[in-house]
Amino acid sequence: MATIELTKDNFGEAVSGPGTLLVDFWAAWCGPCRQFAPVFEDAAENNPDLTFGKVDTEAQVELAQAFGISSIPTLMVVREGVVVYAQPGALPAPALADLIGKVRELDMDEVRAKVAAAEKGTEGTA
């Protein structure tokens, strides 16, 4: 499956959908982004059961700001509506494949329990 272009109009739907979404925040002028692009595309081809999307930070400034993207490329992984990874930097193909494997192995019930516990712990501490 090829990557999809994510915009402010379709991002919410893509993130809240079932399964796993990998998002590459990038810009055309960014050298490391251009180096990471074929790695990301290859991963998309090799993992047709996952959704791969790209956010052009120049065209989608609101999305980049909403996620606090200050360095590109930034890779974000959302599984079952929960952000499970978000880090700047271009990953080499073996590291991206390893990350995808680890995301597949996550126990999402455990992840959601940790998120809920963290949110409870921060209530009232503003």
**1 carries an active-site annotation:** no
The architecture (CATH level 2) of 4-122 comes to 3-Layer(aba) Sandwich (3.40)
Residue 6 confidence class, pLDDT cut points 50, 70, 90: very high
Q: Exactly one of 21, 22, 30, 50 is catalytic; name it.
A: 30
Is pLDDT above 90 for 16? Answer: no
- Alpha-carbon span 59 to 6, nearest angstrom: 10
- Alpha-carbon span 43 to 47, nearest angstrom: 6
Three-state SS at 86: strand
Q: Exactly one of 33, 43, 50, 69 is catalytic; name it.
A: 33
Question: Residue 115's pLDDT is what?
Answer: 86
Is the alpha carbon torsion for 32, 72, 83, 13 positive or negative? negative
Is pLDDT above 60 for 77? Answer: yes
- Alpha-carbon span 85 to 102, nearest angstrom: 10
**30 carries an active-site annotation:** yes
Residue 124 confidence class, pLDDT cut points 50, 70, 90: low
